[in-house]
Amino acid sequence: MSPNDPIIIAAVSTTGALVGSVCGAALAFGASLRTQRFERWKLILGWTRSEELEKLRIHAYRELWRCLGGISTFNTAEKIVASLPAVQARLQGWYYDDGGGLFLKGSAKHRDSTKASFFAARDLRCKDALEIWKVFHQLRQSVRHELGIFESPLEEQAHVASVKEKLEVH
């Protein structure tokens, strides 16, 4: 058999092609495995970031909740009206100084968003305790909704009715 024999040439070519194909497949498999690991790592990192973001949001919203304490049904109508400027100053500090505004969902342009409810409360100019309470109640309701804390519509209606009754009696 000579090196120019067509059978040897075909065998060497076939062997070379087979070895090349196996090497190519192994490299492709390795690259695919690396890509899969990388994508899985990104997914896990995304979950971790989401969990961390939610923890930070809950912490920020707890601070926001504290800011709202001066406008509650615990206070008299007169106290609610008198507390409005101080509560709004705390809201301003929470939003900018404490960075809480980073966690508010939605756009101020969308009336049903938490951010729009926040600005409505922060910017309210009013001397009517019931109106003040309603605006701040909307903000509390938005925060509860974002955090997945729901009230039934009947509970909500009963609560609003009892507050109206309390605050309208002067």
User: Which has the minimum average pLDDT: 22-31, 92-101, 128-137?
Assistant: 22-31
Q: How many structural domains compose the chain?
A: 1
Choose between 19 and 71: higher pLDDT. Answer: 71
Entry pTM: 0.64
Tell me, rounded to whole angstroms, the distance of Cα 136 from its chain centroid: 21
Q: Three-state DSSP class for 105?
A: coil
Please indicate, yes or no, if residue 65 is contained in any of the structural domains: yes
Residue 119, classed as helix, strand or coil, is helix
Phi-psi group of 156: left, alpha or beta (phi > 0 → left; psi -120 to 50 → alpha; rest → beta): alpha
Whether 17 maps to a domain, the answer reads no
* Token reading at 142: 């938005």
Range of the domain at 150: 53-168
- pLDDT tens digits for 146-167? 887 766 777 777 777 777 777 7
Residue type, position 133, single letter: W
Query: What's the pLDDT tens digit per position in 58-77?
Result: 899 999 999 998 898 888 89
Per-residue tokens: 45: 């990192």
